[in-house]
Amino acid sequence: MVGVPVFLDCDPGHDDALAMLLAIASPEVEIAGISTVAGTAGVEATTRHALQVVELAGRPDIPVASGCGRPLVRDPVPVGELATAGMLTDLGLPEPRHGAVEPHAVELLARSVREHRDRLTVVCTAPLTNIALFLRMHPRLADRVHRLVLMGGSATLGNVTPSAEFNIWSDPEAAKIVLGSGLDITMAGLDVTFRAQILPDEAESLRTAGRCGEFVADILATVAARHSHYSNRPGTPLHDAVAVAEVLWPDLVEKVKCNVAVETGSALTFGRTVVDRWGVTTLERNVAYSANVDRDRFVERFVERVRRLP
**Residue among 49, 104, 116, 239 flagged as catalytic:** 239
- pLDDT higher for 42 or 233? 42
Instruction: Count Cβ atoms below 10 Å from residue 97 Cβ, excluding itself.
Output: 8
Q: What is the DSSP secondary-structure string of 214-268?
A: HHHHHHHHHHGGGGTTT-SSSSEE-HHHHHHHHHH-GGGEEEEEEEEEE--S-TT
Is 227 annotated as catalytic?
no
- pLDDT higher for 16 or 223? 16
Nearest to 123 by CA among 2, 226, 242: 242
The reply to whether the predicted model has a pTM over 0.85 is yes
Average pLDDT for the chain: 93
Q: Write the pLDDT tens digit of every residue in 65-102.
A: 999 999 999 888 766 555 555 667 667 789 999 999 99
Virtual torsion, Cα 237, 34, 124, 161, nearest 10 deg: 60
First to last CA, the chain: 22
Domains, in order of start, for the chain: 4-306 (3.90.245.10)
